[in-house]
């Protein structure tokens, strides 16, 4: 494949990922939810324990942004901070029962849309398309990190 074809494919991928990110952004706006709050609720709605640091690293959100959203959700009664043994000063973010209900209500249509889109995609492609996208992303991040040194 020549460089022009490669550039065209990379650009298509960049546009597609931008559209995908934009879909979540527009959903948040249409439903009156802060985009960062939506991301945090999505991150916490997997039933696993998460620290603020982990959310920042996995979801590429600034520490100050996560802290602001955590404080807001905590004040609204949707989130608590739990100190777990062995985690040092780091606290675990926990959705309260009201937070779980809120997250599920906010995320219900997102999950339905994601599941429908995945089912449609899997009707034509294997789940390996995700493996390929992860490989591309890992390689891209490593190259950008190396270029930044």
- Indicate the number of domains in the chain: 1
pTM for the model: 0.88
Distance of alpha carbon 81 from alpha carbon 92, whole angstroms: 6
CATH number of the domain at 32, please.
Answer: 1.10.10.10
3-class secondary structure per residue, 18-79: HHHHHHHHHHHHHCCCCHHHHHHHHHHCCCCCEEHHHHHHHHCCCHHHHHHHHHHHHHCCCE
* φ, ψ (nearest 5 deg) of residue 49: -75, 140
Distance of alpha carbon 12 from alpha carbon 59, whole angstroms: 23
Coil, strand or helix: which one is 81?
A: strand
What average pLDDT values come out for the chain (149 residues) when binned by 10 residues?
95 96 96 95 93 94 96 96 78 94 96 97 96 95 91
Q: Where are the alpha helices (DSSP H) in 60-96?
A: 63-75
Domain that holds residue 106: 3-148
pLDDT at position 89: 78
């Amino acid at each position: 494949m020549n460089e022009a074809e490669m550039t065209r494919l990379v650009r298509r991928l960049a546009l597609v990922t931008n559209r995908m990110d934009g879909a979540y952004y527009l959903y948040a706006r249409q439903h009156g939810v802060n985009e960062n709050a939506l991301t945090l609720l999505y991150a916490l709605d997997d039933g696993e324990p998460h620290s603020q640091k982990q959310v920042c690293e996995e979801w590429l959100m600034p520490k100050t942004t996560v802290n602001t959203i955590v404080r807001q959700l905590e004040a609204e009664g949707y989130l608590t901070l739990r100190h777990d043994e062995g985690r040092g000063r780091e606290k675990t973010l926990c959705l309260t029962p009201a937070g779980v209900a809120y997250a599920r209500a906010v995320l219900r249509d997102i999950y339905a849309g994601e599941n429908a889109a995945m089912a449609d995609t899997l009707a034509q492609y294997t789940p390996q398309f995700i493996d390929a996208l992860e490989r591309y992303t890992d390689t891209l991040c490593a190259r950008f990190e190396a270029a930044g040194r």
